[in-house]
Amino acid sequence: MVVNAAAAQKGQTVCVVGGGVMGVCTAHALVKAGFKVTLVEPGGIGDQCSLANACSLRTSSYVPLASPGAVKRLLWALLTGDQIYQFRWLNLVDPLFASWGLRFLGAAFTEEVRQRGTYFLRTYSPLCIERIHEVAVQEGFGDDYEREAGGMLNVYTGTAASFKGAAASADASRNDWGKQCFPLDAKQTVALEPSLAAVEGKIAGGVDAREDEHGDCGKYAKLLWRSCEKQGAQLIVQKAKKLEVRTSSAGTSIDHIVLEDGAKVHADHFVLSAGAKSAQLAAQAGVYLPIYPVKGYSLTVPVVEGGPVRSLLTFEPMQMYITTLGKNRVRFASIAEFAGQDMSVSQSCVDEIKVRVKEMWPNVPFDWTKADILVGARPMTPDDMPIISGTKHQNLFINSGQGSFGWRLSYLSADILVAAMTKVPCSVPESVCNSFNLSRFQSMRATG
């Protein structure tokens, strides 16, 4: 259903389910569009995946996970026991995982699907990051989400030959797309990150990506929610349990949401932004969302002498992010664990991160006893692109499935959602917005 923009100004009500960065940005964009917003969130605002992540806001990486390279890496991990990818097979005996997995493979090997995702990320990542900061400035909290626009250094371990591809793609990013990405040799890499001097022999090269930035995503969600509340949005600290569908001659719509304590929340419109749980909720209303949880971990410890100098680093191919947040905290984030809905902390994943940190900083005494260990479920779609869309129910919308790019895509996704609801165009062309429609997965059945 198209929501009349003028009607929105008259204060139609919207219930947003999920208070991660996606739900909060959605709530904020809706408030700004004139809606009365209620947010349903059982825990702390921004305390799930949005808190656990690596906090990077990159314009220099723009390839969705669903790619032949990722499939190769997954297979390699299975064959060699590489612990970056971990599988809890018992939890994966599940038709949802099977159908998601098959579609992931389909997306990875379909050139058109990959090109679409790459095009979007390459073209719109700068705007994504600009919107996040612009809104923070408008709401008066500026850089308070530990924002730092100091670029990113990607460090590649392995042989010089293995680095050739990364150097070539940095050159192509710069020459073809104007990205400020510069390949470096091992010496130049260590000159930019002197704390790695002890392991220079392991380094094949680096890429200096000067436009990347970072900020604390969980903190951003909390600060932005404060602004929403000041502008009249309301919070219900409860879990949404059920969506009740109503049928009329005009079609079907959501009548209300039932909360865990049995109370009902009525609204004119409903938006699901419940991260990796969005699929479970939508399934109750017969809407199939191919969103699967892919767990990741972060360990945050106090900054110590000898540790990273630059505030944003990655290590490849070990796929680890190192982010310094403010002056006192350094975060190590990595791992893709396929464990269904099990959100428990797996010690082997935690240990794997520590092992990799030790490999790169063998002599630095990071204090793991003080580590804040967080786990988050990336809400992944098969093509690693979000679902920002209406549904078969007239007043049910989805803004979820941002996967490994959720912090980066957060506010622009909210802009696109509001445009989809109100039909008032946003800064992204309609044809591009339409590529996030749920209908791209139309062949999929409702389950659950």
Strand ranges of the sheet holding 251-259, from the earlier edge strand across to the other edge: 240-248, 251-259, 264-266
The one segment of 262-270, 271-279, 359-367, 429-437 that binds ligand FAD by CB under 6 A:
271-279
Q: Phi, psi at residue 138, to the nearest 5°?
A: -60, -35
279 binds ligand FAD (CB under 6 A): no
Binding residues with ligand FAD: total (CB under 6 A): 42
Nearer of residues 409 and 426 to ligand FAD, judged by Cβ = 409
- Report the C-alpha gap between 117 and 64 in whole angstroms: 6
CB atoms within 10 A of CB 367: 9
According to the binding rule CB under 6 A, does residue 448 interact with ligand FAD? no
106 lies in the binding site for ligand FAD (CB under 6 A):
no
Q: Judged by CB, which is closer to ligand FAD: 28, or 186?
A: 28
Residue 52 found at the interface with ligand FAD (CB under 6 A): yes
Would you say 324 and 330 are in contact if contact means Cβ atoms under 8 Å apart?
A: yes
Strand order in the sheet with 13-17: 234-236, 36-40, 13-17, 269-272, 396-400, 387-390
- Rounded Cα gap, residues 213 and 77, in angstroms: 30
Which residues, numbered 284-343, are part of the site for ligand FAD (CB under 6 A)?
Answer: 296-298, 321, 333
- Which of these ranges, 46-54, 81-89, 130-138, 243-251, lies near ligand FAD under the rule CB under 6 A? 46-54
Sign of the CA dihedral with 27 first, then 30, 34, and 40 last: negative
**Closer Cβ to ligand FAD, 3 or 22, answer by number:** 22
**Does residue 84 belong to the site contacting ligand FAD (CB under 6 A)?**
no
Is residue 272 part of the contact set for ligand FAD (CB under 6 A)? no
Name the one residue in this structure whose structure tokens are 């098959």. 102
What minimum distance in Å lies between the beta carbon of 336 and ligand FAD? Answer: 9
SS3 content of the chain, % helix, strand, coil (to 5): 40, 25, 35
Closer of 284 and 435 to ligand FAD (Cβ): 284
Q: What is the DSSP string of 45-83?
A: TT-SHHHHS--EE-SS----S-SHHHHHHHHHHHHHT-T
Report, in Å, the least distance between residue 3 CB and ligand FAD. Answer: 22
Q: Closest Cα to residue 115, out of 126, 106, 107, 105?
A: 107
For 419, other C-beta atoms within 10 Å of its C-beta total 19
Angstrom distance (rounded) from CA 287 to CA 267: 19
Binding mask 121-140 toward ligand FAD (x if CB under 6 A, else -) reads --------------------
Quote the CA–CA distance of 358 and 355 in Å, as a whole number. 5
Least CB distance from residue 104 to ligand FAD, whole Å? 16
| Residue showing tokens 């109503």 | 246
Residue 438 in the binding site for ligand FAD (CB under 6 A): no
When asked if residue 378 is in the footprint of ligand FAD (CB under 6 A), the reply is yes
Choosing from 14, 23, 206, 332, the residue that interacts with ligand FAD (CB under 6 A) is 23
Which segments of 136-287 are extended strands (E)? 152-157, 181-184, 203-209, 213-214, 234-236, 240-248, 251-259, 264-266, 269-272
For residue 366, give the nearest of 304, 281, 276, 283 by alpha carbon. 304
Stretch that binds ligand FAD, among 16-24, 88-96, 168-176, 198-206 (CB under 6 A): 16-24
Quote the Cα angle for 295-297-303, to 5°.
165
Closest to ligand FAD by CB, 104 vs 190, is 104
**Shortest reach from residue 239's CB to ligand FAD, in Å:** 4
Among 17, 66, 267, 289, binds ligand FAD (CB under 6 A): 17
Strand 264-266 to strand 36-40: parallel, antiparallel, or no bridges (unpaired)? unpaired
Residue with smaller CB distance to ligand FAD, 167 or 224 = 224
Q: Which is nearer to ligand FAD, 18 or 206 (CB)?
A: 18
Near ligand FAD in 386-415, by CB under 6 A: 400, 402-408
Cβ at position 124, least distance to ligand FAD in Å: 13
Q: Which is nearer to ligand FAD, 404 or 422 (CB)?
A: 404
Q: Give the residue with the Cβ less far from ligand FAD, 52 or 204.
A: 52
Q: Does 205 bind ligand FAD (CB under 6 A)?
A: no
- 40's enclosing H/E stretch is strand 36-40
In whole angstroms, how close is the CB of 69 to ligand FAD at the nearest point? 18
Q: In this chain, which of 12, 15, 19, 85 binds ligand FAD, going by CB under 6 A?
A: 19
DSSP state of 19: -
Which of 281, 291, 419, 433 binds ligand FAD (CB under 6 A)? It is: 281
Taking the complex as a whole, the smallest distance from the CB of residue 334 to ligand FAD amounts, in Å, to 7
Q: Which residues bind ligand FAD (CB under 6 A)?
A: 17-23, 40-43, 48-50, 52-56, 239-240, 273-275, 277, 281, 296-298, 321, 333, 376, 378-379, 400, 402-408
